[in-house]
Amino acid sequence: SAINDMVEQLLKWMQKDQEGVWWPTKINFNEFINEDFIQKQDLIYGWCYGTPGVARILWICGRALNNKEYQEIALSAYKAICKKDFKNLKIQTPTFCHGISGILHLTHLMYIESFDKELLSFKNNLAEKILQYYDAENPLGFYDITYSGKKNLSIGALDGVSGILAVLNSINSNEIPEWSFLYLTN
C-alpha cells in the first residue's frame, strides 16, 4: 500500500545511536538520490521535521495499518527524546512552530494513545518550560523567539500565543483536541 511504501521510506532514513532511534532534520538532494545520509547536522526537535514529527507520523501509520512494530519504533523514538537534556533539543521559543508547544502537542497525543509514564513526565516538564516563558509585561503573555533571539509579538496559531494557549488548554484532558487535525498530527 502507499502507506507501507511511505513508512519504508521513513524507516530507511532512521538513525540509531546510544540514546535510541532518530531521524535527520533534513536530507539533501544528493543524500536522497544516493540513499546515503552523510551530512552531520545539529538536530532540531520540532513538530514539523526531524524525530518528533516523523515518529508521530510513524505512530499514525502503525495505527492505520494495525502494525504494532511501527508504533513501537515511534514510541522508542519519543522515549529517546524524553531522555535528552532540554538544551540539546535546540528549542528556544514557546510557540508551536519550531517550539515547545509543538513538541508538547505531539507528546500529548503520543501519551494519550500509549499512556507511557515517561511521556507523561516529559509532557509535564514541557508544560513547565512553556510557563517559564510567560512575561507579565507582554500584552499577549508570550513572545515568539527567533533563532537569532529576536522577540516577536504574534497571536498566530503557529508562531504566536494562540497556538501556545491551545496546547496548554488541551493537555489536561485525555482526549485528542478537535483542532489537532489542522496540523495533520492525528
| Contact in structure between 70 and 58 (CB atoms under 8 Å) | yes
48 is in an annotated binding site: yes
Taking the C-alpha atoms of residue 29 and residue 69, their distance in angstroms, rounded to an integer, is: 29
Taking the C-alpha atoms of residue 149 and residue 12, their distance in angstroms, rounded to an integer, is: 35
Taking the C-alpha atoms of residue 130 and residue 93, their distance in angstroms, rounded to an integer, is: 8
97 is in an annotated binding site: yes
Taking the C-alpha atoms of residue 147 and residue 90, their distance in angstroms, rounded to an integer, is: 9
- Which grid cell sits at 49? 521535521
| Contact in structure between 15 and 22 (CB atoms under 8 Å) | yes
82 is in an annotated binding site: no
- Count of all residues that appear for the chain in the document: 186
| Contact in structure between 21 and 27 (CB atoms under 8 Å) | no
- Which grid cell sits at 93? 521559543
Return binding residues: 48, 97-98
Return binding residues for Zn(2+): 48, 97-98
